[in-house]
């Protein structure tokens, strides 16, 4: 397989995983806003926390980004994912902020008497 094919495959997988995690984040926010907190909400929160720990372990880079670096010399933020460059650049800031807001809402709702 060529470097381009491998990079394309990494980008595709990375994008699909990104979509899954963004969906989970929005599900957490939705659960909090609608006060429909379920086991799936808590599983989602756990998955996002695990993702955060993995990012910390890899010095704030996705492991797929580390692998993709072997197949590209690009300095663009979206070299390893099918996202607009601005979104790839601010991805962690945007979605961590949304997650934290959702988490606060969920915790508030869960502790509300």
Block means of pLDDT (10 residues each) for the chain, length 113 residues?
94 98 98 97 98 96 95 95 98 98 97 79
Determine the pLDDT at residue 113.
Answer: 56
pLDDT value for 61: 93
**Eight-class DSSP state of 80:** T
Q: 53 lies in which domain range? A: 3-111
pLDDT of residue 32: 97
Which pLDDT value is given to residue 67? 96
**pLDDT score of 112:** 87
Q: How many Cβ atoms from other residues are within 10 Å of residue 65's Cβ?
A: 18
Which token pair is 88? 């790839």
pLDDT value at residue 80: 97
Counting the structural domains of the chain, the total is: 1
């Amino acid at each position: 397989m060529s470097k381009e094919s491998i990079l394309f495959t990494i980008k595709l997988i990375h994008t699909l995983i990104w979509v899954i995690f963004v969906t989970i984040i929005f599900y957490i926010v939705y659960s909090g806003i609608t006060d429909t907190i379920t086991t799936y909400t808590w599983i989602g929160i756990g998955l996002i926390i695990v993702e955060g720990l993995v990012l910390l372990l890899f010095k704030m880079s996705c492991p797929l980004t580390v692998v993709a670096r072997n197949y590209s010399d690009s300095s663009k933020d979206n070299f390893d994912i099918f996202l607009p460059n601005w979104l790839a650049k601010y991805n962690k800031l945007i979605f961590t902020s949304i997650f934290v807001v959702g988490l606060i809402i969920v915790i508030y709702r869960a502790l509300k008497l």
